[in-house]
Amino acid sequence: MDENLELEERFAELKQALLEDDMQRFREPFLEMHIYEQGQFYQSLTSEERHRMYGYLSPKELADMFDVIEEDDEHMTDYLFEMRPGYAAAMLAEMYTDNAVDLLNTLDKKAVNKYLSLMDKEDASEIKELLHYEDDTAGSIMTTEFVSIVANQTVRSAMYVLKNEADVAETIYYIYVVDQENHLVGVISLRDLIVNEDDTMIQDVMSERVISVHVGDDQEDVAQTFRDYDFLALPVTDYDDHLLGIVTVDDIIDVIDDEAASDYSGLAGVNVEEVSENPVKAASRRLPWLITLLFLGMATATLISHYEELVSEASILAVFISLITGTAGNAGTQSLAVAVRRLAINDDKENSFVKTVVSEILTGLVTGFITGLTIFIIVAIWKHNPILGFVIGMAMMCAITVANLAGSFIPMLMDKLGFDPAVASGPFITTLSDLTSVLIYFNIASLFMQYFIA
Amino acid sequence: MDENLELEERFAELKQALLEDDMQRFREPFLEMHIYEQGQFYQSLTSEERHRMYGYLSPKELADMFDVIEEDDEHMTDYLFEMRPGYAAAMLAEMYTDNAVDLLNTLDKKAVNKYLSLMDKEDASEIKELLHYEDDTAGSIMTTEFVSIVANQTVRSAMYVLKNEADVAETIYYIYVVDQENHLVGVISLRDLIVNEDDTMIQDVMSERVISVHVGDDQEDVAQTFRDYDFLALPVTDYDDHLLGIVTVDDIIDVIDDEAASDYSGLAGVNVEEVSENPVKAASRRLPWLITLLFLGMATATLISHYEELVSEASILAVFISLITGTAGNAGTQSLAVAVRRLAINDDKENSFVKTVVSEILTGLVTGFITGLTIFIIVAIWKHNPILGFVIGMAMMCAITVANLAGSFIPMLMDKLGFDPAVASGPFITTLSDLTSVLIYFNIASLFMQYFIA
């Protein structure tokens, strides 16, 4: 609380300095703040106030702050476009390449080319290289600001290189060792550099078993490697083991967050990352799924309509429609979530397809049997009609088993076909399971019809 | 692929060495592997093979490996109990305190006390201190192996301290500066130490605005601070600003993963972290929710049973029950996911309760109106009955709006009451919305009954 208050006061003073156009009073307290707080302050300003800031700060100083502003901020492009193009280009050049690329990726081609043409050739070509990598690959999240050295030098001279690059490198806590052709041959942590004697040769203390990722690797696999090994950074190589860049742990946290949000969105049938307070906008994001599922639901309605005669003879059947579809839908959702999760953590996907589906069917039979037995007892007592109870219980068991089959089979199949299994949404599975549940229910009911009608 | 093959060969050779009881041939290649790979190897062994390993490795060497084995491995306690108690205690003492505590937390009190009594007093008291902290707080994930120095010394002497502690500290990339009473007064990164001259005084280059967390802070808030500031470690203090420990980014990645899994589990109504291949076990984990919801579903069935006469007169009504409950359930799930997500990312919870609920109701009205209009047109044409179409469309709109209200209100309320909003599961919302949808549907239908029956 105190800290927040202190920060608010600081923000107020800085705004006052901006208002009075007092550059001296602005710069020092501003630059003293952590870059994240600088970003918070910047994002709280009006366009006019921001313009003043551009006059006060060097492109490098602004770039440090822009490095921590999330690139999915909706005002990001406004910020860039309100700067003089030359200033914006200089700032982009000073940012860490991976962040500059993320930012440029939100712009259209014309704007990107404009900024690139205003930069040094060297800066522009570094950025251009990274712009090429496909979304969601190691290449798309790596940066080129790393420290690399050759092996036949001493710890002392390596430390010297490090001191010189400490200002521009995104991390100096791992130093990568390359040969003459830039092949990655080793790695040494700053911790190891520090504890070794100055005259030790790098080749004697570096680790030659370097864990690295390929530039085309899926970013989720890269995140898994970070989780497994607890690294702070990982080197990225091409397929001939040339060192191209590094991925740092802060970018991996973003990947993990995005991954979690997309799994969650899939299960809910709505993109939770595009949340809007505007009801019309929010509705427009949810309607595509809802309307699609409405048409799938129409299939269920059509099916029931075939059994309308049955219902008019035995209206008691209508009482249990929503209970059976609802319970089967719940079971299907559970199955789906387990299958998607298993796909996410399982490396050995090949052998588990049949195993998972069979295990889900068996689980469905067990849950279905117990749930079916429960409802059989309830209905038999409530409606004094054990045959009806048997019909409902039997339908429940079959519907749950089929829902479990669908809930596991569909995401597994999507994964096999190369799609993200998480897009098989919960609402889709429940709506599909409504259809199969109704089909099962009315078929069983018509078989036993003659016995349970009074 | 190549790397995996190489690793498999390595594993096979190590196993051979264990089989032939050849300690010399085992130790060097084993210790050369990354500790994560050592863990993978260890976890692939039989109990007998593991026993041989305990003879070959020092408690410290085994501890390094145990530091990266996830504590939720189900065999963890078996591993500990199969070691000689003295060896296990020595290993626990050599582990990073936070990891040892996580491990001990999976054991019963008696076992914990046994191991603690076998340790050095100092090691035992460090662990005891951390055992006290409540689950899911900063205290429960912090470690006490950090580097702290006093301010009135030079960079050179600080580097000297660092070199000595590099072996035991969990991270040496931040050095925390404390006063005589151990109050946290500053921080300096190893990067800053390296770029400054040896004779510079620490107090002149340290940052005095240290971002820290309190020992009782929720671990999810700590994770948010890591996300915002892109730190690799954060200091943890008590409420009088005494430095107690640090939290490192690898532990935060675990927190973020757990958080995501628990949100996902909540939405699905099943704990996806406790996945079992055994159908009976799996069923026993899913049945509590299913049976609970079955009883809630019975309320819906009872409600419909009150309208049984209505249905027997107009069996066409039964055709649309699952369509209306299903669509409203889908909308409610979307609403729930958005509300839970908004709660997770929103700092300013107070003011957004009413705003979120109102915005969700309005969104419900918009989606409901469009979905209702769609189904009105379909039913009017399909059944040649515009009045029936109107009833269905109207019921759809109201049911969706109410589902959106429930989907946002319930998690917000749970959050207000201090519960985790993510436990308001998707299945619960859909089952609840079945009830309200049916109520709305049959009430609207009975109002217009006389008009749409041929």
Selected residues 383-422 of chain A with any CB under 8 Å from a CB in chain B: none
Q: Does A1 touch chain B (CB under 8 A)?
A: no
pLDDT in tens, B20-59: 998 889 998 899 888 889 998 998 899 889 999 998 999 9
> Where does the pLDDT of residue A1 fall: very low under 50, low under 70, confident under 90, or very high at 90 and above?
very low
Q: How far is B133 from chain A (nearest CA, A)?
A: 22
Mean pLDDT, residues A376-381 taken together: 93
pLDDT in tens, B109-125: 888 999 999 998 888 88
pLDDT in tens, B137-165: 999 899 988 999 998 899 999 999 988 88
pLDDT in tens, B242-275: 999 999 999 999 999 888 888 888 888 888 877 7
* Domain A2-135 in CATH 1.25.60.10: yes
Counting one residue from chain A and one from chain B, the pairs whose CB atoms sit within 8 A come to: 331
The ranges assigned to domains in chain B are: 2-139, 148-256, 279-452
For residue B352, pLDDT over 50 is answered with yes
Contacts B33 to A, Cβ<8 Å: 209
Q: Which residue of B has its CA nearest to A307?
A: B319
Selected residues 223-242 of chain A with any CB under 8 Å from a CB in chain B: 226-230, 232
Residue B453 has what pLDDT? 67
Of A164-178, A401-415, A420-434, least confident by mean pLDDT is A420-434
- The total of other beta-carbon atoms located within 10 Å of residue A273's CB is 14
Q: How far is B23 from chain A (nearest CA, A)?
A: 22
pLDDT in tens, A240-284: 899 999 999 999 999 998 888 888 888 888 888 777 778 888 888
> Where does the pLDDT of residue B347 fall: very low under 50, low under 70, confident under 90, or very high at 90 and above?
low
> Where does the pLDDT of residue B1 fall: very low under 50, low under 70, confident under 90, or very high at 90 and above?
very low
Percent of chain A with pLDDT over 70: 96
Q: Does B52 touch chain A (CB under 8 A)?
A: no
Q: How far is A86 from chain B (nearest CA, A)?
A: 28
For residue B427, pLDDT over 50 is answered with yes
State in words which class domain B279-452 has: mainly alpha
For residue B350, pLDDT over 60 is answered with no
Q: Does B2 touch chain A (CB under 8 A)?
A: no
User: Structure tokens of B394?
Assistant: 């109207």
Mean pLDDT, residues B343-357 taken together: 70
Q: Which fold has domain B148-256?
A: CBS-domain (3.10.580)
Give dist(CA A222, CA A252) in Å, integer: 8
Give dist(CA B426, CA B428) in Å, integer: 5
pLDDT in tens, B170-224: 888 999 999 999 999 999 999 889 889 889 999 999 998 899 999 999 998 999 9
Q: Tell the residue number behind the tokens 């068991």, with chain if given.
A: A397
Would you put residue A218 in left (φ > 0), alpha (ψ -120 to 50) or beta? beta
Q: Residue B134's closest CA among B70, B216, B235?
A: B216
Q: Looking at the structure, give the CATH architecture of the domain made up of residues B2-139.
A: Alpha Horseshoe (1.25)
Q: Residue A344's closest CA among B260, B279, B286?
A: B260
Q: Residue type at A230?
A: D
Q: Answer yes or no: are the C-beta atoms of B220 and B177 closer than 8 Å.
A: no
Contacts A370 to B, Cβ<8 Å: 283, 287, 291
A148-249 falls under which CATH superfamily? CBS-domain (3.10.580.10)
ipTM of the complex: 0.80
pLDDT in tens, B295-337: 999 999 999 989 888 888 888 888 999 999 999 999 999 999 8
Q: How far is B395 from chain A (nearest CA, A)?
A: 14
Q: Which residue of A has its CA nearest to B209?
A: A33
Q: How far is A117 from chain B (nearest CA, A)?
A: 31
Contacts B305 to A, Cβ<8 Å: 316, 319
User: Structure tokens of A328?
Assistant: 């089967």
- The total of other beta-carbon atoms located within 10 Å of residue B238's CB is 13
Give dist(CA B29, CA B39) in Å, integer: 14
> When comparing pLDDT for A108 and A202, which is higher?
A202
- The total of other beta-carbon atoms located within 10 Å of residue B240's CB is 8
Contacts B68 to A, Cβ<8 Å: 228-230
For residue B450, pLDDT over 90 is answered with no
Interchain contact, B430 vs A326, CB within 8 Å: yes
For residue A454, pLDDT over 70 is answered with no
